[in-house]
């Protein structure tokens, strides 16, 4: 995880799908922040939805113009939204929150912290993206982006994320694996790790057993690791995926490059389900996020835990600005 330093950058929180738990965890997390941290927060959401969430959760937070209130960029809904109900209106609102947040981040250099969205709702509204990572790359014009899951004991960065397993295998190419290694290395260096130790997971069981179970480990992953080492990066691999995460969690490595979504998500969430932070790398802006979904089954009840949102905000506050990195 990042060092414990703090900075005065604006933390721009998008409240997520308004039919999910995002507004509730946003209100509860802000209520737990000290006065100085609140002064550096801007929330993008819908006033009525957030006020309802504050009332449901009992969170001591206001979005009005009175002293002590939280800065709000109010985005009106374009149709009715009910807690726990998937709808195009909610998906469109979530999309609009993100667009406004990117605009603000590029203007002010702040860091985005995103509450969960529902991909189906967003696509129903006509916004065909696979989630935050792809949408943010599109909005910022970034040629590529990478998903990092950060926790105290285990952090993973992914070669691919929200694609089918068949497509994920096709994306295991030397250039993409090398770019993922480099993105993770740069991020750790930015956080003050002088010599990041990066392990690269294999794709196939036992890294293919010299071609018995597939040759991608030899033809795509090994050349990428060699390229990283030639560039001065302490990279190791491919390492059998059934042992590499244990070795990293035991302190042998600072980061594991996972070849696809579930390969990296399952061990990280098993170890740190409530505190894992989703970080987008490769963008011209910074973004952290909770690593859970909209939880429609409990939306509107006030029962959603905000622990993960607090972790995402804390990580964002530790990140130095990209200009200073």
Domain of 203: which CATH number?
3.40.718.10
Q: Taking all residues of the chain, what is their mean pLDDT, rounded to a whole number?
A: 94
CA neighbor of 156 nearest in space, from 167, 168, 146, 148: 148
Residues 170 and 193 in one domain: yes
* Domain co-membership, 70 together with 158: no
Q: Are strands 111-114 and 255-258 parallel, antiparallel or unpaired?
A: unpaired
Q: What is the mean pLDDT of residues 184-212?
A: 96
Distance of alpha carbon 261 from its chain centroid, rounded?
13
Q: Which domain holds residue 224?
A: 146-274
| Token duo for residue 227 | 């390229």
Q: How many domains does the chain have?
A: 2
Q: Is 236 helix (H, G, I), strand (E, B) or coil?
A: strand
pLDDT at 3 over 50: no
Q: Domain check: are 126 and 8 in the same one?
A: yes
Res 44 pLDDT > 60: yes
Same domain assignment for residues 1 and 112: yes
Q: Coil, helix or strand for 155? A: coil
Could you tell me the pLDDT band of residue 308, with boundaries at 50, 70 and 90?
A: very high
Residues 123-171 have pLDDT tens digits of 999 999 988 988 999 999 998 899 999 999 999 999 999 899 999 999 9
Mean local confidence (pLDDT), 295-303? 97
In 3D, which of 6, 70, 25 has the Cα closest to residue 44?
70
Residue at which a domain ends, from 243, 258, 274: 274
Same domain, 128 and 192: no
pLDDT, position 325: 54
Residue 56 and residue 141 in one domain? yes
Tell me: do 13 and 138 sit in the same domain.
yes
| Same-domain check for residues 14 and 122 | yes
- 85: tokens are 């109900």
- Band (67; pLDDT cuts 50, 70, 90): confident
218-258 pLDDT tens trace: 999 999 999 999 999 999 999 999 999 999 999 999 999 99
The stretch 17-26 carries a mean pLDDT of: 98
User: CA angle, corner 58, sides to 53 and 62, nearest 5?
Assistant: 65
């Amino acid at each position: 995880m990042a060092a414990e330093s703090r900075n005065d950058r604006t933390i721009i929180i998008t409240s997520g799908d308004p039919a999910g738990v995002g507004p509730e965890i946003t209100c509860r997390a802000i209520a737990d922040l000290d006065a100085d941290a609140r002064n550096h927060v801007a929330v993008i959401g819908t006033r009525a939805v957030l006020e309802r969430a504050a009332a449901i959760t009992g969170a001591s937070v206001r979005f009005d113009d009175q002293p002590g209130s939280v800065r709000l960029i109010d985005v009106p809904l374009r149709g009715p939204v009910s807690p726990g109900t998937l709808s195009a209106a909610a998906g469109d609102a979530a999309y609009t929150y993100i667009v406004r947040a990117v605009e603000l981040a590029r203007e002010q250099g702040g860091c985005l912290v995103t509450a969960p969205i529902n991909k189906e709702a967003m696509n129903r509204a006509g916004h065909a993206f696979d989630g935050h990572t792809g949408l943010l790359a599109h909005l910022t014009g970034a040629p590529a982006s990478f998903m990092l899951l950060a926790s105290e004991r285990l952090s993973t960065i992914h070669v691919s994320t929200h694609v089918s397993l068949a497509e994920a295998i096709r994306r295991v190419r030397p250039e993409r694996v090398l770019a993922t290694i480099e993105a993770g290395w740069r991020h750790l260096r930015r956080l003050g790790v002088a010599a990041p130790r990066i392990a690269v997971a294999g794709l196939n069981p036992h890294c293919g057993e010299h071609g018995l179970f597939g040759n991608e480990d030899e033809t795509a992953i090994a050349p990428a690791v060699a390229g990283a080492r030639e560039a001065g990066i302490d990279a190791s691999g491919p390492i059998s995926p059934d042992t590499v995460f244990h070795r990293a969690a035991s302190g042998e490595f600072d980061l594991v490059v996972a070849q696809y979504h579930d390969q990296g998500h399952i061990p990280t969430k098993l170890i740190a389900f409530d505190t894992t932070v989703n970080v987008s790398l490769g963008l011209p802006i910074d973004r952290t996020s909770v690593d859970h979904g909209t939880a429609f089954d409990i939306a509107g009840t006030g029962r959603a835990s905000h622990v993960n949102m607090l972790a995402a905000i804390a990580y964002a506050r530790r990140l130095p600005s990209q200009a200073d990195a």
